[in-house]
Amino acid sequence: MSEPVSRAASHVPYPTSPVAPAGGTVPDLDPDLDSDPDVYREHGEISADGHAEELPSDRFLDRERSWLAFNERVLELAEDREVPLLERANFLAIFASNLDEFFMVRVAGLKRRIATGVATRSASGLQPREVLEQIWTRSRELMERHARCYQQDIAPALAGEELHLIRWGELTEKEQARLFTLFRQQIYPVLTPLAVDPAHPFPYISGLSLNLAVVVRNPVTQHQHFARVKVPPLLSRFLEASPHRWVPLEDVIAAHLEELFPGMEVLAHHMFRVTRNEDLEVEEDDVENLLQALEKELLRRRFGPPVRLEVEESIDAYVLELLVRELNVSEAEVYPLPGPLDLTGLSGIVSAMDRPDLKYPKFVARTQRDLAQVESAQPPDVFAALRERDVLLHHPYDSFSTSVQAFLEQAAGDPDVLAIKQTLYRTSGDSPIVDALIDAAESGKQVLVLVEIKARFDEQANIKWARKLEESGCHVVHGLVGLKTHGKFSLVVRQEGETLRRYAHVGTGNYHPKTARLYEDLGLLTADQQVGADLSDLFNRLSGYSRRETYRRLLVAPTSLRDGLVSRIQREIAHHRAGRPAFVRFKLNSIVDETVVDALYRASQAGVPVDLWVRGICALRPGVPGLSENVRVRSVLGRFLEHSRIFAFGNGDEPEVWLGSGDMMHRNLDRRIEALVRVPDPGHRTSLIKLLETGMGDATASWHLGSDGEWTRHAHDSDGAPLRNIQESLIEGRKRRRGPAA
């Protein structure tokens, strides 16, 4: 499950993100986009006989093509008639939203590097221009397929359920009259037509805005003129003409252009939409105040160069030529499509439709059973539970509100708690987490909050939170220069008699109550003093000048995470050669890092089974004889955004399992503070390994990656029966458990 109107405000649950004008949020699959280039690291490996072994030069799949394949899997869910109809429409919105961000970040970054001459050959062996041309070709195919799915499948199917998404010409006279009144009262006053002539230069077209290109004629002089009308982003994307009948806002505006150009003849109008480079560039070494620098950069973001022009396929050649010239885009960057453009708006209308029969069945998370068993309080006494055992959380199946949120709220209100230390990467607009931290500070507790103000597309919201927290008395820091703090961890210090006890949470997801209901994530609540000591050291590093780089129960990027995982992969090779149980099983969002990929290739060559459960990008080629025939790669997409990261190793007879926030991406391993925590409890390790086995199992519905980079969906068995939906299985399992709904 990832922009003004406000992209920050709409980057809420998955499914939710970019541009969500009035009425709803646009789902996002959090596609792990990263604007930095793929820089291949030579990774020298030594074989058992002491000689270096060359790995094939074509062993890496291209990350951009892999990301587009990920978004194609999202599109396949929209095309799947076994998925509830309104959820299919929602997946159309997710696809469009993901692609917007891909162009704003990855395509924009690639173009920028080509223009400045700093782009290098990618790890896949492709030249930057080749990558860009492949992106243009493949994204065009997918966008056309996306439009066809809406036009020929989703819209007619909705109509069959008496839910009509129609165009202006399909309205009755009564509906048109009603919308004319609405136009005059609520739409016309906020419209601003902008003429283009010698006295009026071509206007600035903001990124992701919908626009009408209008051609008018002066009846006196017979001269034709061009004008632009922006569709107001704060108004509802679809307007209800009558019960269960909606029409796009731009159709209503287009039908009343004479009101905007009185005395002129409206000859033609065409919709268009521009995507701009909206990736931030802040050189922290050159600024004294990161907060102020980022605010200035957010203003500059609105004026980034165009990277894509979407137009209605019926557009006049003259108007298209004008747009291409004035926006300075190439022919390859123009995407003619059937209307309506910008289907991200579907998410808002889906959320407004009261048709539970066309959506996923409602699911209410339950309190995690180890917390529910604590009878001393309601909600549960988290501290009492943690003094007995570690608690492994699996969201959204386990309630966030009665676990992580309760942990921090209880800490804020407990007079014996002396300090709370917390990272915030993304959070919601009405966050109870932020409220708890403010309450704690105002009650005199020491509160340290590391707010990552460079969280992409949430920068403005995080600046707001940083200032609000500071005003309440919290100590707010922004981490280390040159590094984003992406790790998800919190620490509570509590006075218990004559001693201080530390309680901690390390997770894979943001402290975001809304996404916790829609993202699949893991978390470990623990009173283990080694974890507490590690987090104390890590927070001291983030807030002060500590140079500690080694930890007891944590692997931390950028110092020890990559090397720690690679050494454990190599250890599995030694176990396998000695005849002991050995395996490598990872669940993550993306795997691109060449050093890690090469280590997995070496493990496969040695005979170690390697299973990778990857939601998004995978640069590793599985199933290549002599290289990766022992590697399987699966992907699961569905109702919830698969967001957790698990790293499991056979380790002889003592399996080792880690969980945390880091993906195997250059940015995560080199330019972010990430933390993985080792899971000590044998029962927890067993349940996580079982989860990995289930997700990778042939009886589970998933996509399988081939050595050619193509993903194949496996949703039915050989008899045509549906394979197990792992998310639905986990929901059913929680329903059968004892414990209160939360």
650-659 tens-digit pLDDT:
999 899 999 9
* Lowest-confidence region among 14-28, 140-154, 230-244, 606-620: 14-28
What's the confidence (pLDDT) of residue 20? 39
Asked whether residue 551 is domain-assigned, the answer is no
* Claim to verify: residue 565 and residue 678 sit in the same structural domain: yes
Same domain, 581 and 619: yes
In a domain, 498, yes or no: yes
pLDDT tens column, 440-450: 999 999 999 98
283 and 211 belong to one structural domain: yes
Q: Would you say residue 11 has pLDDT above 80?
A: no
- Residue 32 is predicted with a pLDDT of 56
Same domain for 326 and 229: yes
**Predicted structure pTM score:** 0.89
Residues facing 492 on adjacent strands: 420, 503
Same domain, 339 and 430: no
Domain assignment present for 363: no
- Tokens representing 595 are 């050093």
Tell me the one-letter amino acid at 508: T
Residues 538 and 560 in one domain: no
Q: Residue 422: which H helix or E strand, with range? A: strand 417-424
- Specify if 166 maps to a domain: no
Q: CATH number, domain at 564?
A: 3.30.870.10
Q: Say yes or no to pLDDT of 39 above 60.
A: no
Give CA–CA dist 648/716, Å, rounded.
Answer: 28
**How confident is the model at residue 16, as a pLDDT?**
35
Pick the last residue of a domain from 494, 519, 546.
546
535-588 pLDDT, tens digit each: 999 999 888 766 677 899 999 999 999 999 999 999 999 999 999 999 999 999
Residue 21 has pLDDT above 80, yes or no: no
CA–CA separation, 313 and 325 (whole Å): 18
Do β-strands 238-242 and 245-248 pair in parallel, antiparallel, or remain unpaired? Answer: antiparallel
Is residue 669, in this structure, part of any structural domain at all?
yes
449 shares its domain with 482: yes
Residues 542 and 393 in one domain: yes
Domain finish residue from 492, 512, 546: 546
Would you say residue 93 has pLDDT above 60?
yes
Cβ-count burial 497-533 (b if 16+ within 10 Å, e if not): eeeebbbbbbbbbbbbbbbbbbbbbbbbbbbbebbbb
CA–CA separation, 180 and 289 (whole Å)? 50
Q: Does the pLDDT at position 227 exceed 60?
A: yes
Instruction: Indicate which CATH number applies to the domain containing 97.
Output: 1.20.58.310
Q: Is 739 left (phi over 0), alpha (psi -120 to 50) or beta?
A: left
Arithmetic mean of pLDDT, 593-607: 98
Other C-beta atoms closer than 10 Å to the C-beta of 714 total 14
Considering 146, 486, 643, 684, which one is annotated as catalytic? 486
For residues 324 and 309, the answer to whether their CB atoms sit within 8 Å is yes
Count of structural domains, the chain? 4
**Alpha helices per DSSP H over 275-328:** 290-301, 317-327
- Please say if 486 is a catalytic residue: yes
Asked, for residue 696, whether it belongs to a domain, the answer is: yes
Among residues 333, 358, 383, the one where a domain terminates is 358
Q: How many CB atoms are closer than 10 A to CB 174?
A: 10
Query: Quick one: 676 and 646 in the same domain?
Result: yes
330 & 391 share domain = no
User: pLDDT tens digit string along 492-534?
Assistant: 999 999 999 999 999 999 998 888 999 999 999 999 999 999 9
pLDDT average, residue stretch 687-713: 97
Q: Is residue 329 part of a domain?
A: yes
pLDDT at 196 over 60: yes
Check whether residue 103 and residue 15 sit in a common domain: yes
Mark whether 521 and 562 lie in a shared domain.
Answer: no
Structure confidence by residue, pLDDT tens digits, 99-120: 999 999 899 989 988 888 877 8
Domain encompassing residue 259: 172-351
